[in-house]
Structure 1
């Protein structure tokens, strides 16, 4: 086989750092938005030095600039907005659509790698000249385990070439989104239509890996 066992897992592991970066960007944006929208409707008092408390609060925000233009009472009610501003200054929301698009692209690339991996194994073990992506798709959705690849070529699977192409094109749609929220909504729509098929492909790829490992163990006399 031209594809080594573990290739599928490698690509999946490679996508995790980007997924984490996306999560951090979105989480920071949501926290800043929440701080702006939710205003405190109560006050608390402490025996601690108020100047010290204020300075430590601003230090946690990453700034040493304490407002001197407002009375302390007013400052207590505006500090959340200042926290939100401080948080936004540390994130680059302009990259969110790009990161989300890259993540979706890696997901679709991973899908094609998994299909190709399974198809190569089936081709080699069954002595076939060629196994296409749609051959693998039909096999995934076949309800007759006794039928081979060639017998299934007349079977209409619920996943079509057009649907796969639409998923392949989706990252560019996310990349061109006007703002982070629009990009995230586009990704959510993509995942809603894509995840079920993705899970089935991954399941097949895992089954192929397990079969390869079993054959290797048998060959070694285990």
Structure 2
């Protein structure tokens, strides 16, 4: 996890000091951190490191709605930094998360729907209409607790940077507004290895994502 072989991409002590249980404090910490991580220099170094690190390449994968590249995985703190790329269609399914996270949009945009906080969300929970709708554009961001239900509808190739905290649970709920269906999704620790392997991006696709950031002017 280094830029030049002796200096880490992010100081591990800084990651260990993030206040995941105190959202106002965490917000200020992540705004500052994401300001630094969103720079061309840091992202260039991070992608170089990913392509040279088999462990990170194995964690970078294609999901139904987006590609995600794991740039930093700090095992001691449970913190990960990921680059997300929304692909060629809009995607809008309400869901919560297994972890609290901060986000920064780098390029593109998406419509962001927030449904409210559901501490004990299950597949049987009925959620109402969104209580807040906002457009996320380059430079905007937010910090979301793992209990909040939200969804996004993205312009193709929208890119964003995520700093996620340690897992607070082993599963989360995804809902389909059109069919009324809801289902659990799980972390890698309980998934089948063959299914995980099918989703891996590999170095060619990760290089392609870096090239996309160059075209977007995020990396120069």
The TM-score with structure 2 as length reference comes to 0.23
Q: Which structure shows the higher strand fraction?
A: 2
